[in-house]
Structure 1
Amino acid sequence: MSMVSEENQEYWYQPEIQSLINGKSREHKARLAHTPPVCLSLKSALTRLEPADEFTFHLHQEALAQLPGIACNPVQRVVEDDGAQASEQCGRKRRIAIVFSGGPAPGGHNVIAGLFDAAMQRNPDNEVLGFLMGPEGIVEGLYQPLTREMVDQHRNMGGFSMIRTGRTKVDTREKMRLSRSTCKTLGIDALVIVGGDDSNTNAAFLAENLREEGIQVIGVPKTIDGDILVQDASGNSLCAVSFGFHTAALAFSRNIASLCTDAASDVKYWHICKVMGRVASHLALEVALQTHPTLTLIGEELADYVDDDRLKAARERGEQDYTAYGMTLRHLSRLICNAIVQRAAAGKNYGVLVIPEGLLEFINEIQVLIIKLSTLIADYNRTHDAGFHEVFSDLDAQTDYLRRMARESQERDQIFVWNQRDHDFFDDIPDFFKEGLLTERDSHGNFQFSQVETDKILMGLVKDYLSILKEKGLYKVGIDPQWYAGVLEREGLDPDGFASVLFRNADRKGEPLLFKESIISVKTLNHALVKEGLLSDGAAIPPAILKVYRKSEPDFRMQPHFYGYDGRGSDPTPFDCNYTYNLGRTVFALIAGGATGQMAVIRNLEKDVSEWEPMGVPLAALMHLEERKGKMALVMEKKLVDVQSPAFQVLKAMGAEWLAARAGEDPCRRPDSVWMTGAEDKPLTLLLNAMNTGSSRSPASENLL
């Protein structure tokens, strides 16, 4: 490494040079200067909470049993108030702590900014603390007083770097005791937990446990996966999207739109784009609406799949085929192959496939395998001194243990979690997939789909089946008629004279030409030409004919891509900036109103900010029972893509159009660039689904696609 002299060092610090490489770009400066608009009921320095009795929930009995103190909370609406009681409530000095929990999501800093501004507006003596490194900071007492200078440096910026984040869960009595002790020692009046479904589950139990101490707990819906959606018992939407979703989806969409352009330019690759979303496919759906890729697979649709052809065949045999219910890996690979073959026939042996990260969880046979393996691992960990992955540290040892379990099940003739049929299926899958299925579970006992190369598994099957279709003469690249004619004419050959011998669709004008299914090699090509008298036996095939044939031979090449962490760390869109800032102010309004065990939400997000409605929704009402580490636990319910929703139906309706298995350019869409000075965009899924609820049509929905 070369040394820089002191004189040269000074040269590089000249103002002209430093202005070019300054750490703050023009957009960075514009973001710091941006002031998000505030919805009407939050503009006032004084607010109060009123019950919104028109919104009701079906409360799970287990929520009532485990969270009795907060279970009967009503939905609350934040309204403007200038009365003496509101003045006293809002103006009382408070010490509020906020913590980020789980993965980052664009907009988190604006939740802090909104909370901080509202708190200081009500009483300049208020204090806002940030627990550091996520919930670990609560347990260990790690915190940082937040100043205006700190907050101003992070306004409208991405990441959670101001106080950072972590995945520690307050899920034991000891951690709960330590958290209570920390909050009491610091004199915390209210604790704000910004996180996803698991973090808000923690918020509910903290609210229950800190209630007697007079410490309020408020949750904030954060996840780029978009699986925190709140509807009441009548289907009214109270939280249509979690913050960070829009930014991440656009970040992925801009990259995937570029791949659509690249694919159509280089005409030789299929780009396989896996986007984050372990449990739900919301991001994949939004990306599809934003970019119009060649093919998009939505996991929730696969889960409801029924193979009508197999059912019909079984009925004709007088049988019932239960395996026809639910998508299999093999059948899914066939669906992808069909799309590839159709486009190749149109002369397009390239494309862009979008799949959600958790696609395999919606494949029935894989889901059963994951559930069984997760149960086995959880049972082993619970009943032995050492953990499963500690004792069986490699694939051979793990497979041997499973083999013994299957043999024992067969020998005892009893129903075991793992039987010989399970093991036979497991034995048939590739080793790298076995390793993925047996990988250590996360802190909740969940299978970690991000550790599995879903695209590699799926596309391995696709490649195998494409080879079969190629051998059968069904997978061929369509030939442009004008190019074909030009190649033959330059060699003095009659295009029309050869066309009927070579092509199965020679009589259909304007279509790409497809070689006959029987012509699958140079040998069969030679035979066809000799048979029709266009070539003497033993003579060489004309170079022009060989050139055309080689052009028709498909060469499937794929490029895998994963979109996840880049979207989490993106700077928030104007929508997410404004949304999160108003969420932060909503949090303070809930605290000032005395609420606890509530999640801050904003209704009518599809409308103009002036029509947004800040509210508090009872966390307990969002809970259900779910298996965690082999046991049933009360957790917040994740919301999947509704296959009956307008957004999904648009995707289905446009599927053939976007597949574009025809001559001509693909109808790909380029999402708008995100600039703070530009028009405020919104998630297309949000706008489309709102159009079906009687909500007023927003200007942004006039030209959605």
Structure 2
Amino acid sequence: MTKSALQIARAAYQPKLPKALTGAVMVKEGEPTQSVADQEAIQKLFPNTYGMPLIQFVEGESKEYAPMNVGVILSGGQAPGGHNVISGLFDGIKKLNPANKLYGFILGPGGLVDHKYMELTADIIDEYRNTGGFDIIGSGRTKLEKEDQFEKGYEILKELGIKALVIIGGDDSNTNACVLAEYYAAKNYGIQVIGCPKTIDGDLKNDMIETSFGFDTACKTYAEVIGNIERDCNSARKYWHFIKLMGRSASHIALECALQTQPNICIISEEVEAKNMSLDDIVTYIAQVVADRAAAGNNFGTVLIPEGLIEFIPAMKRLIAELNDFLAHNGEEFNSIKRSKQRDYIISKLTPENAAIYASLPEGVARQLSLDRDPHGNVQVSLIETEKLLSEMVATKLAAWKEEGKYVGKFAAQHHFFGYEGRCAAPSNFDADYCYSLGYTASMLIANGKTGYMSSVRNTTAPAAEWIAGGVPITMMMNMERRHGEMKPVIQKALVKLDGAPFKKFAACREAWAKETAYVYPGPIQYFGPTEVCDEPTKTLQLEQAK
């Protein structure tokens, strides 16, 4: 396999570990825990794994461990650093006993159910150290929810002599890990299940999980390109760039990229919802900034938009809910109507408020809302080109203002969506170290007989040697939410906190950024050089931990 000079140099990088993990460890137990909400319901569903204590690893005396086999699964969307979690897990179990083996299940949780696996040997692991992607064993989105899946999984785990299974994934995947841990504990199968917190969206976090892995690298990757666009924007001085960023359920990526690059406008979905803003409110806000900059002779700028914005606009949420319901019951009649008449048909059937909003939408977006449904009959919100929707509506509003003499300027838009570009980037030093530590911590949780825990590494704005490694019971993060019409236990999503330090910092600066051209150009991720450049954590972490 041909490798670039960077790949060769990165292969030799030895990730840094918390000091407590560099030698023999012992468990220091904290207080018993309870779930973040719905304690009674969660305890009832997880009698064997509820209320376990928080765990911290401290330096201990060395002891001998019997040989064991471990399984690992990559679940859900890719995030930079997944290979290092597996490398850390591999090195950790080999240090416990060189006879230990690691098996990877192919293409996600489906590999466990379908008995597709491979042994991960030192030769294979060494090929993938400090690289991006999940291609070592692939990933998948099969949900582990049913008893027959758990039993099929148990068959292969028993056959391979696997004592513990590590599931690397986001909130849904770790919820599944918790359900699996509870099932195997209830059945006394002797299989431990450990989770690792992955998602570039940054919405799997709490006091014990300070950041999800991949978030640092993805944001630095996007911020580099946003900075490049800002520089082009400031050079050509004739375009407004509308940039959509990953983040369907939370705006952490948009906020972090704004803090790194200082764009003229950044919309935060959680604020839109909290202020009950309409689509027109957002369009008017953007148009006003465009008009004010034009008055100062600046017919250019940058706008950052989170991918899931539409679902956070309360009026749009109500429109989508009514559309979903209406089309579910009247799909055949709708499909029989001539395409050119379908829009008018829908307007005639909606409540007045929703009809007015639907009628105000550009043709292309209205069509996406009514035609492009997922297998459950719901709107595929991620397919809506929000960046084009907003720029079209801003253009329409500015044209009306021009006729009224309220706007003098030129408005031309460019559109971008940064998503896949950041999911498989080579991990930053922070993510390389953090992920390796998460994997190594998982091996220690297994060695100490734990199940139903998520690997936790904290104090992450300090040098890696001072990080605190341990475990957090997954049940501690859970609450009950309605999914597909039923109440289900799920890990609570972490949204942007409007009273949190990162948002407050952004809110304090945005007026100045809107008027001035205050762009910051972060440049590419640096792997070699001064610590303050190469190992810097996200602005979000620095502000949250006030360092």
TM-score range, shorter chain: over 0.9
Aligned match of 2:268 in 298, 313, 316? 298
Aligned match of 2:203 in 216, 224, 227? 227
Residues 676, 432 of structure 1: alpha-carbon distance in 2 compared, 3 angstrom cutoff? same
Residue 673 of structure 1 aligns to a residue in which SS? coil
Aligned match of 1:64 in 32, 39, 43? 43
1:391-410 mapped onto 2 (5 Å cutoff):
none
- Asked if 1:332 is matched to 2:295, the reply is no
Aligned match of 2:31 in 53, 63, 77? 53
Rounded to whole Å, the distance in 2 between the matches of 1:229 and 1:442 is 30
The match for 1:279 is 249
* 59-68 or 467-476, larger mean C-alpha shift: 59-68
The match for 1:496 is none
Residues 370, 599 of structure 1: alpha-carbon distance in 2 compared, 3 angstrom cutoff? farther
Aligned match of 2:492 in 631, 637, 651? 637
Cα deviation, 1:10-65, whole Å, max 9, x if unaligned, reads xxxxxxxxxxxx93222111110000111111111x32322222876545222112
Cα deviation, 1:304-353, whole Å, max 9, x if unaligned, reads 21xxxxxxxxxxxxxxxxxxxx1000111000001000111111000111
Deviation at 1:375, TM superposition (A): 5.7
The match for 2:464 is 609
The match for 1:670 is 521
Task: Calculate the TM-score normalised by the size of structure 2.
Answer: 0.92
The match for 1:114 is 88
Deviation at 1:245, TM superposition (A): 0.2
Aligned match of 1:432 in 351, 361, 364? 364
Rounded to whole Å, the distance in 2 between the matches of 1:600 and 1:682 is 19
Report the residue type matching 1:244 in the other structure.
Answer: G
Gaps of 5+ in 2: none
Cα deviation, 1:480-531, whole Å, max 9, x if unaligned, reads xxxxxxxxxxxxxxxxxxxxxxxxxxxxxxxxxxxxxxxxxxxxxxxxxxxx
Rounded to whole Å, the distance in 2 between the matches of 1:406 and 1:207 is 51
The match for 1:531 is none
Deviation at 1:186, TM superposition (A): 2.4
* 454-463 or 680-689, larger mean C-alpha shift: 454-463
The match for 1:580 is 435
The match for 1:598 is 453
Residue 370 of structure 1 aligns to a residue in which SS? helix
Residues 120, 446 of structure 1: alpha-carbon distance in 2 compared, 3 angstrom cutoff? farther
The match for 2:294 is 344
Rounded to whole Å, the distance in 2 between the matches of 1:462 and 1:101 is 39
Rounded to whole Å, the distance in 1 between the matches of 2:232 and 2:401 is 27
Cα deviation, 1:398-442, whole Å, max 9, x if unaligned, reads x979969986xxxxxxxxxx7565455435534432343343347
Rounded to whole Å, the distance in 1 between the matches of 2:315 and 2:441 is 44
Rounded to whole Å, the distance in 1 between the matches of 2:209 and 2:498 is 19
Residue 272 of structure 1 aligns to a residue in which SS? strand
The match for 1:473 is 405
Aligned match of 1:624 in 462, 476, 479? 479
Deviation at 1:134, TM superposition (A): 0.6
Deviation at 1:270, TM superposition (A): 0.5
Rounded to whole Å, the distance in 2 between the matches of 1:332 and 1:432 is 19
Could you tell me whether the CA contact under 8 Å between 2:35 and 2:475 is conserved in 1? Answer: no
Deviation at 1:391, TM superposition (A): 10
Could you tell me whether the CA contact under 8 Å between 1:374 and 1:629 is conserved in 2? Answer: no
Residue 130 of structure 1 aligns to a residue in which SS? strand
Residues 372, 126 of structure 1: alpha-carbon distance in 2 compared, 3 angstrom cutoff? farther
Residues 222, 391 of structure 1: alpha-carbon distance in 2 compared, 3 angstrom cutoff? farther
Residues 62, 448 of structure 1: alpha-carbon distance in 2 compared, 3 angstrom cutoff? farther
Cα deviation, 1:646-689, whole Å, max 9, x if unaligned, reads 1111111111221235xxxx221111532321331210110011
The match for 1:152 is 126
Report the residue type matching 2:31 in the other structure.
Answer: D
Deviation at 1:229, TM superposition (A): 0.8
Report the residue type matching 1:227 in the other structure.
Answer: D
Rounded to whole Å, the distance in 1 between the matches of 2:461 and 2:281 is 38
Residue 162 of structure 2 aligns to a residue in which SS? coil
Could you tell me whether the CA contact under 8 Å between 1:131 and 1:137 is conserved in 2? Answer: yes
Gaps of 5+ in 1: 1-21, 231-236, 306-325, 381-387, 408-417, 477-553, 692-696, 698-705
Report the residue type matching 1:429 in the other structure.
Answer: L
Aligned match of 1:681 in 536, 539, 542? 536
Rounded to whole Å, the distance in 2 between the matches of 1:291 and 1:367 is 30
Count of residue pairs the alignment pairs up: 539
1:82-231 mapped onto 2 (5 Å cutoff):
82=61, 87-88=63-64, 91-211=65-185, 212-230=188-206
Could you tell me whether the CA contact under 8 Å between 2:32 and 2:51 is conserved in 1? Answer: no
Deviation at 1:394, TM superposition (A): 8.8
Rounded to whole Å, the distance in 1 between the matches of 2:481 and 2:200 is 21
The match for 1:261 is 231
Cα deviation, 1:615-657, whole Å, max 9, x if unaligned, reads 2111112112222223332211111001111111111111122
Report the residue type matching 1:170 in the other structure.
Answer: L
Cα deviation, 1:348-367, whole Å, max 9, x if unaligned, reads 00011111111112211012
Could you tell me whether the CA contact under 8 Å between 1:115 and 1:587 is conserved in 2? Answer: yes
The match for 2:383 is 451
Report the residue type matching 2:4 in the other structure.
Answer: S
Could you tell me whether the CA contact under 8 Å between 1:27 and 1:675 is conserved in 2? Answer: no
Report the residue type matching 1:297 in the other structure.
Answer: I
1:72-83 mapped onto 2 (5 Å cutoff):
72-82=51-61
Deviation at 1:368, TM superposition (A): 1.9
Cα deviation, 1:574-618, whole Å, max 9, x if unaligned, reads 000000000010000111111111111111111111211112111
The match for 1:656 is 511
The match for 2:8 is 29
Rounded to whole Å, the distance in 1 between the matches of 2:216 and 2:183 is 34
Task: Calculate the TM-score normalised by the size of structure 1.
Answer: 0.72
Rounded to whole Å, the distance in 2 between the matches of 1:406 and 1:677 is 62
Could you tell me whether the CA contact under 8 Å between 2:75 and 2:139 is conserved in 1? Answer: yes
Report the residue type matching 2:191 in the other structure.
Answer: I
Rounded to whole Å, the distance in 2 between the matches of 1:581 and 1:267 is 44
Cα deviation, 1:44-89, whole Å, max 9, x if unaligned, reads 1x32322222876545222112222111222111222216xxx24x
Matched residues, percent identical? Answer: 37
Rounded to whole Å, the distance in 2 between the matches of 1:155 and 1:394 is 56
Could you tell me whether the CA contact under 8 Å between 2:85 and 2:439 is conserved in 1? Answer: yes
Deviation at 1:369, TM superposition (A): 2.4
Report the residue type matching 2:159 in the other structure.
Answer: T
Cα deviation, 1:132-190, whole Å, max 9, x if unaligned, reads 00111011011010010111111000000100111111123332332232322322211
Residues 171, 392 of structure 1: alpha-carbon distance in 2 compared, 3 angstrom cutoff? farther
Could you tell me whether the CA contact under 8 Å between 1:395 and 1:435 is conserved in 2? Answer: no
Rounded to whole Å, the distance in 2 between the matches of 1:447 and 1:42 is 47
Report the residue type matching 1:582 in the other structure.
Answer: S
Deviation at 1:210, TM superposition (A): 1.6
Report the residue type matching 1:343 in the other structure.
Answer: R
Residues 424, 268 of structure 1: alpha-carbon distance in 2 compared, 3 angstrom cutoff? closer
Deviation at 1:392, TM superposition (A): 7.2
Could you tell me whether the CA contact under 8 Å between 2:36 and 2:479 is conserved in 1? Answer: no
